[in-house]
Each structure stands twice: as C-alpha cells, then as structure tokens.
Structure 1
Amino acid sequence: MEISTLSTAGSPRLSGADPDHVETLAAVQTPLPPITVHRSTMRVIDGLHRVRAAQVRGRTAIAARFFDGDEADAFVLAVESNIAHGLPLTTTDRKRAARRIITSHPQWSDRMIASVAGIAPGTVAEIRRRAPGQVTGAQSRIGQDGRVRPVNGAEGRRLASEIIAENPGLSLRQVARAASISPETVRDVRNRMMRGEDPQLRRGRRAGCREAAPPAPRTGFGPVAVPDRGQAQARAAIVDRLKADPALRFSETGRMLLRLLTIHTLSPEDWDKIIDRVPPHCGAIVAELATDCAEMWAEFAQRVQRKAVETA
C-alpha cells in the first residue's frame, strides 16, 4: 500500500521513531514483515520504524495487513506488538499506555492490563488509583483468562461458603464458577469452614499471608519429613516406596498415579533447565497451565485426605 496514505499519529511511543533503529532496518537486505494498519483510520498500529526505513530507502509503498477493530482495541494491539518484538517501549511509554488502557478498558483487571503493557500488576493498580475520574465502585473485572471476577472478594467468599454448605461434594472449580472467584479462594474458604472459622478474611490480615497449614496426616510410611538432602530426594524416596506397594503396582490406575508422582521427583536443577528453555512467547500459557495443574493437585490432595479420614 502507498506510504503516503498512512498516519503515524497515536503511537504508544512518546518520542516517535528511533533514528538508529530506523537506520538498522534500512540496511537490512531481506524483506521485513508487513506492518499492521488500522483499516478505518489508516493509522500504523505496528511497524512505525519499518515505514521510516522504507522511506529512507526511497520506497513509496510497503507491505501491510489490516486490523478491523475499534480505535481502543487498535491501541491495545499496538502496545502488545511493541512489547513482543522490535524496539521495546520505554518504561514511561508503558505506564502511559497502561493509563490510556485503564480509561478505554476499565473493566479489565490489573493483571490483564499489566500483561498488555509489560509492567507489574501493582504498578497498574497504582496508576488506576491515581487516574482522575476513575470509577472505583466497580464490582467485577475481566481477568486474563476471560473470566469475570469481583474486585472485592467478600461477596464471592460469602456465596462460596453457602454453596459449599449446601453442596459439599462440588469441586473447587464448580464452586469457583458459581461464585465468580478463583479456585484458590474457594480452597481457602473450604479450609476455613472445615476448621470452624469464618470464611471471610479477618481485617488487618495482609494480602498474600497464609495461615499455618494443619498438620499433615500420618501414613503407613511414618511422619512426612523433609531431610537435609532436599525435598526432591525426599519425594523420590517416598515414591520409590509407593512403587513397591502391590495395590498400586498391579493396577492400571495405580500405575497411572505412580507415573504422575514420578514427574515431581525431578531435581531443582532439572526444573531450572525446563524453566530456562520455555520459549518467551509460550511463558504466559505455560504458567497458566502450571497453575491449573497445581490447583488440580491441591484439590486431589484434599479429597484423598478427606477420604482417608472418613475411612480411618
């Protein structure tokens, strides 16, 4: 498309194109990726430096693809694109972008906006708090997973406690969906109810603080302790003893359980290698899946422990 028809206004870059980066791109001999253009306004969403590089080389046209959303979503795409590749946005640019997205997408959670702007959720929360004219009475926001969750979890906790009391057999995820809170919050509510405590958080309790966990149940292998040689070795030793149990070794479901448990006997060094080799563009997805797996394991542990207590 003709470069003369394009608009470079509204870029998330406060200082505009970087001359050194433009020169670097202008010297590249291989074709550069197409730029992204907002169809209705002809604004360049992604590719400002490529446009300038094409002009330096005397080009009048450039390869492009179109985006058909509204202007607010076009800006979000511009920020995401300039975080993912090319010359990164400065911290100042990212904060300014977050402030604009808070205004255009107030229903998005702090984590959602943080993932777009490439800054910490806490920074987004502070920007939101200081933003003039912001409505602070919002009851819920949309998270990164697309789910709507309450800003204040008190009502969600109350509803979850009622659901658990009426339907104690429901899973954490089922209660979480019904109460619009996270499975982790449901787990905390359920644990509090089992201990005879108020499911609501006490005032003055700092966010993120955890109460002491109840003592681990005794098993046929004696008390569960973590020896000095490390948690990984301790888990491996316990799994080896489980593998010798005929009730597990000679059943399909038992062998499946042993295979799953064996995965978690990896050494810290092995986990570090895996983490180092997760491609950056897959990081968020892998982290979300890992969190989901952790939640499923926690629910599994609670149900197995409850069954052990009931049959003891």
Structure 2
Amino acid sequence: MTNFAAVSLSRDDFEYLDASGSSGPVVRVAIRALRVAGSPRMAGENLEHVRTLADTPDELPPIIVHRPTMRVIDGVHRLRAAKLRNQQDIAVRFFDGDEADCFVLAVRANVSHGLPLSLAERKAAATSIVASHPHWSDRLIASVTGLSAKTIGEVRRTVKAPQPDRRIGQDGRVRPINSLEKRRLASNLMRADPNLSLRQVAKAAGISPETARAVRARLQRGEDPAVRQRVGTRKNEEKRQPKPQPPTPLPDRSTVLRYLRTDPTLRFTDTGRTLLRLLDVHSMPNERWATMVRNVPPHCRETIAQAALECARVWRTVAEQLERNSHGHG
C-alpha cells in the first residue's frame, strides 16, 4: 500500500496550502475513486471553463482531495477536464482534516486562483465558516474568503451561534473578545428578531442573561446598547442638566499644513511631497482667494468655474477614499 503523505490544516496555527498546492507530495489516483460534493460554488460547475482546461496542452496542477472520504476539495473543473481527455488517473495532493476544515480550504483555494468564487458565493461561504469556526477572528475569516473584516463582522451578527470568549487572530494569537462587541452583537440579534428570549440572545452572544436584559432595556430607551452603565448613573445624569458645550473649532488649513509638514513619512516620500505641494496651494487665506476671484477676467470666468468644480470633485473623491481606507474598507 502506498504511504500517502497528507497536508494538515490546523485551526490553531492556520496552516494552509498555497494557491498552487505546493505543499505535500503529488500522487496519481484513479479518477473513478474520487467523488465530488460540498463545493462552495452555488452555481455549480462551469462547462466552458472545463472545456478550456481540457484543451490546454500542458499538465494541469494537482487537485486537492480529502483522503478519509476521497472527496475533491479543490479542482473539480480539472477533474472534469481530465475525464474529457479520457484520462484514467489524475495528479492529487491529499489533505487530512475534518469536513469543516475541508470547506475552509476549498473556499481559500477558489478565492485565490482558477475560476474565482463570486461575491455572493464568498458571502455564503463566510456564513458557513463563521458558524463552523466561531473562534476565528473576523480578519482571519476575511483572509480566507477574500472579503473585508467589516463584512465578516456583519455576517457574524446574522449567525445565531454561540460565541466564544476568545478568538484566534490572523497571526495565530488568541485574544479575548471585547465585551462591548458582545453587547453590540446582542443588540443586533434583538433588532433582527424581537421575539428572541433573553436566554437565547445571551447564549448566541456569549453574555449573561442579566447583561442581555440590560442591553434590551437600553434599546427600549433609545440608548447605545454597547455602552456599559453602572447602577444609579442614569438617574444621576437625569438630575444633572449640564450646559451644552460649544463645539471645538476645527484647525484652519495653514495649521493643518504646518502639522503635516512635520511628518517624515510625507516629507521624505515622493507621494507625500506631492500631496504637501497640492495642499500648500489651497492653504491660502480666504481673503487671497476672494481677491483672486475678483481679478479673474470676465471672458474666462465660466471656464475657470468649471475647472474649479472639477478639481473639487477630484478632491472629494480623494477624501472619500481616504476616509474609507482609514475605517478598514480599503
């Protein structure tokens, strides 16, 4: 009997095969011994892609197979192409692990190469992985599914599964879950299904029934449910009527530019220096801008106005992209 070496996937250290399947030895396996099931593809196989692979003159990369069940984890299209070529066997790398890890590996492989999973398929896969691996962090699951950590967080709030007190991060380290995140999860569960009992919400969010009761009470009062409040604090706050504080004035453009000029990551890079030069133009006092506007010749005012509007649109796009990136949406 051939001693097939296997590729192992540990949920603790998050060791995966890379996209080319370069881990583990390659062996030839009879095609009739393999089976296909449990694919993350909702639309099924793409026959055109199968025909394209079958017409490829080169040897196709090895497929990945779950050795205990002989189920194809990654490479169904290559398997179908091999059948069209009338091959009797195919190159295989084996994987030893449970069914949940098989699905994770299938998703990761089909996000990074071949015929990529659609956005809907990746979101559906994320839902399954959040349920099967609740102890994995949002960023860790995001790295598998090709989605953002924020999207995984939104998916997690729709999955009614017990949440552990700690999660494994992308770096393999175990960290405790922020208690405020649990309260926020509980509030989202209550909003999604007001008929859930406190015990059901508590079990799903990983909090005590008393905390779930406090979250529901804050929701009913229209307050932020993720904020803790000590006993008697709200009554004391109701008694006090603090005077409204004036908003903190924003720094002017010249002050902001002086601050940015001290940042070495801007001063000593080409991109940073270009940004500083562009911002320097716009840091002129309002009086100078007003004088400039008054001195624009009448025959080109409309043209300059259109050009200024286009510049404003460009800067707005830049600002929106920077804001998205700063909140982890990039």
TM-score by length of 2: 0.49
2:119 paired with 1:91? yes
Change in 2 beyond 3 A, CA 1:60/1:95: same
CA distance in 2, matches of 1:94, 1:142: 21
Structure 2: distance between partners of 1:65 and 1:34: 6
SS at match of 2:257: coil
Q: CA separation of 1:50/1:269 partners in 2, compared to 1, >3 Å: closer, same or farther?
A: farther
**Residue aligned with 1:63, SS:** strand
Structure 2 residue 170 is matched with structure 1 residue 139: no
Decide whether the 8 Å contact of 2:166 with 2:176 is kept in 1. yes
**Alpha-carbon offset, residue 3 of structure 1:** 0.9
Per-residue CA deviations over 1:98-146 (Å, capped at 9, x if unaligned) read 11111211101122111111112222222222223x124x322111111
1:63 to 1:139, Cα distance in 2 relative to 1, 3 A: same
The reply to whether residue 40 of structure 1 matches residue 35 of structure 2 is: no
In our comparison, the structure showing a higher alpha carbon Rg is: 2
The counterpart of 1:151, out of the listed 168, 177, 180, is: 177
Partners of 2:129 and 2:270 in 1: CA distance: 42
What CA RMSD, in Å, does the superposition of the two structures yield over aligned residues?
A: 3.3
Aligned with residue 12 of structure 1, among 35, 40, 59: 40
How far apart in 1 are the matches of 2:267 and 2:46?
Answer: 47
Distance 1:8 1:269, change over 3 A: farther
Q: Does 1:119 align with 2:131?
A: no
- Letter paired with 1:145: D
SS in 1 for 2:86: coil
Segments of 5+ residues of structure 1 without an aligned counterpart are 156-200, 205-211, 216-223, 239-260, 272-312
State the distance in 1 between where 2:43 and 2:32 align: 21
Query: Structure 1, residues 239-282: CA drift from partner, whole Å, max 9, x if none?
Result: xxxxxxxxxxxxxxxxxxxxxx68971111899xxxxxxxxxxx
Question: How far does residue 70 in structure 1 lie from its aligned partner after superposition?
Answer: 1.7
Distance change (3 Å), C-alpha of 1:202 and 1:11: closer
Residue 6 of structure 1: CA displacement? 0.7
Distance 1:262 1:148, change over 3 A: closer
Q: Counterpart of 2:257 in structure 1: which amino acid?
A: V
**CA shift in 2, pair 1:262/1:59, >3 Å:** same
Aligned partner of 1:142: which letter? I
Work out the number of aligned pairs and report it: 181
Structure 2 unmatched ranges of 5 or more: 1-28, 182-225, 230-247, 275-330
- Percent of counterpart pairs with the same letter? 51
Q: Which has the higher contact order (CA 8 A, sep 6+)?
A: 2
